[in-house]
């Protein structure tokens, strides 16, 4: 558990410190007829910074390792700090502001005492929550309270969090946006094809013909049904995952109906290839170490970069092409 906690913070520091890329990644290499290649580009930061002054009271641990919860709270604070126009007050600054009031120091998350804490600290919104254990998964519950009115602005609970550090980081980032900037919670799909004039549909609605002039942007997160079809070719019909602030990029090459094994409608066998970069190849490893030391007062020496390439035929297993996982 302790090792996972450090991995989460180290990987998060690398992700949050990295700038947005100047351009999309290079197109993948040659793809067999009828297959598609999927890659993901890291997206930009916030589209619009929040003007409200925000403070995080605390994230409580409910039946879970407090060390891990402390690090998840650090990630949550880091993402809100990245989202807000002005820096969030530190834990020390909050404690200093309420030092003379024992009632506020013992605040368990009641809206009224959060309102008073917000007034003492001089912010517009106070955020608090908890992380609870559910088997080998975790559920993050957070809420935001308006300091002026003392009313809740929004309360959310995440889906069970589990898996790799990268997956936990993305879930925490999504939770921050769902709470305070839901309008910015979206991703995009880039469709590339060597065939001109193929019809492209998303979720049953036509969106244009190849080559599409621009990405399919501002899409809700989750699976979307993508179809690329042209007369005389086997259609590409897949569920594609849209992930937060990322572009799911597909290169689609349709197979002629008579070209696959000589049988109309037949498609090539799907193959999956995974390639991973060694951790030390990332230049952001050094940024991760320094940022984690400031955030949690310890040294972090781990940052992970991944580069997955998935090749799919026209009849893959469900979810094989979903966001490259």
Residues of the chain with CATH 3.40.50.10610: 54-163
Is pLDDT above 80 for 193? yes
Among the ranges given (78-87, 181-190, 263-272), the one the predictor scored with the smallest mean pLDDT: 263-272
pLDDT score of 37:
53
pLDDT score of 28:
41
Report the candidate in 309, 193, 174 with the shortest Cα–Cα distance to residue 242.
174
Beta bridge partners of 193: 252
> How would residue 321 be classed by pLDDT, with cut points 50, 70 and 90?
low
Sheet holding 54-62, edge to edge: 54-62, 125-134, 137-146, 152-157
Is pLDDT above 90 for 198? yes
Q: What is the DSSP letter of 102?
A: H
Is pLDDT above 70 for 313? no
Is pLDDT above 70 for 267? no
Percent of the chain with pLDDT over 90: 44
pLDDT score of 196:
93
**And the tokens for 55?**
């403070």
> How would residue 88 be classed by pLDDT, with cut points 50, 70 and 90?
very high
pLDDT score of 162:
76
Q: Mean pLDDT, to the nearest integer, of 234-247?
A: 91
**And the tokens for 319?**
């979810």
pLDDT score of 154:
95
pLDDT score of 101:
86
> How would residue 93 be classed by pLDDT, with cut points 50, 70 and 90?
very high
Q: Mean pLDDT, to the nearest integer, of 295-323?
A: 42
User: Dihedral of the CA atoms 223, 5, 175, 24 (nearest 10)?
Assistant: -50
Residues of the chain with CATH 2.60.40.1120: 2-47+185-312
**And the tokens for 110?**
């009641």
Long-range contacts of 142-151 (CB under 8 A, 24+ apart): 142/59, 142/76, 142/175, 142/179, 143/109, 143/179, 144/179, 144/180, 145/111, 145/114, 145/115, 145/118, 146/115, 147/115, 147/118, 147/119, 147/123, 148/124, 150/111, 150/112, 150/115, 151/111
- Apex CA 242: angle with CA 241 and CA 248, to 5°? 90
Token pair 């998350």: residue: 109
pLDDT score of 138:
83
Q: Which residue has the higher pLDDT, 25 or 312?
A: 312
Measured distance CA(187)–CA(42) in Å, rounded: 10
Among the ranges given (7-11, 165-169, 197-201), the one the predictor scored with the smallest mean pLDDT: 7-11
Percent of the chain with pLDDT over 70: 64
Into which CATH architecture does domain 2-47+185-312 fall?
Sandwich (2.60)
Measured distance CA(20)–CA(11) in Å, rounded: 16
pLDDT score of 257:
86
Q: Mean pLDDT, to the nearest integer, of 173-194?
A: 92
Into which CATH architecture does domain 54-163 fall?
3-Layer(aba) Sandwich (3.40)
Q: Mean pLDDT, to the nearest integer, of 142-160?
A: 93
């Amino acid at each position: 558990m302790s090792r996972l906690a450090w991995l989460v913070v180290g990987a998060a520091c690398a992700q949050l410190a990295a700038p947005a890329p100047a351009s999309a990644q290079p197109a993948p290499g040659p793809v067999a007829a009828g297959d598609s290649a999927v890659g993901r580009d890291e997206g930009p930061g916030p589209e619009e910074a929040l003007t409200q002054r925000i403070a995080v009271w605390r994230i409580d641990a409910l039946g879970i390792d407090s060390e891990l919860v402390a690090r998840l709270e650090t990630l949550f604070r880091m993402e809100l700090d990245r989202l807000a126009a002005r820096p969030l007050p530190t834990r020390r600054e909050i404690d200093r502001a309420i030092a003379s009031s024992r009632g506020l120091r013992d605040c368990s998350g009641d809206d009224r005492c959060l309102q008073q804490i917000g007034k003492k600290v001089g912010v517009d919104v106070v955020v608090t929550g908890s992380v609870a254990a559910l088997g080998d998964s975790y559920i993050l519950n957070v809420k935001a309270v308006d300091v002026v009115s003392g009313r809740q602005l929004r309360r959310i609970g995440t889906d069970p969090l589990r898996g790799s550090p990268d997956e936990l980081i993305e879930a925490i980032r999504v939770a921050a946006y769902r709470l305070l900037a839901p309008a910015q919670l979206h991703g995009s799909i880039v469709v590339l094809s060597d065939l001109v004039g193929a019809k492209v549909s998303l979720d049953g609605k036509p969106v244009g013909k190849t080559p599409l002039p621009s990405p399919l942007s501002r899409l809700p997160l989750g699976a979307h049904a993508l179809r690329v079809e042209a007369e005389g070719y086997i259609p590409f019909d897949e569920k594609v995952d849209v992930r937060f602030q990322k572009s799911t990029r597909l290169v689609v090459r349709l197979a002629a109906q008579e070209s696959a094994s000589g049988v109309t409608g037949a498609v090539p066998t799907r193959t999956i290839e995974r390639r991973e970069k060694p951790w030390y190849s990332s230049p952001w490893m050094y940024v991760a170490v320094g940022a984690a030391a400031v955030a949690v007062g310890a040294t972090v020496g781990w940052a992970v970069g991944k580069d997955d390439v998935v090749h799919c035929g026209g009849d893959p297993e469900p979810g094989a092409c979903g966001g490259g996982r």
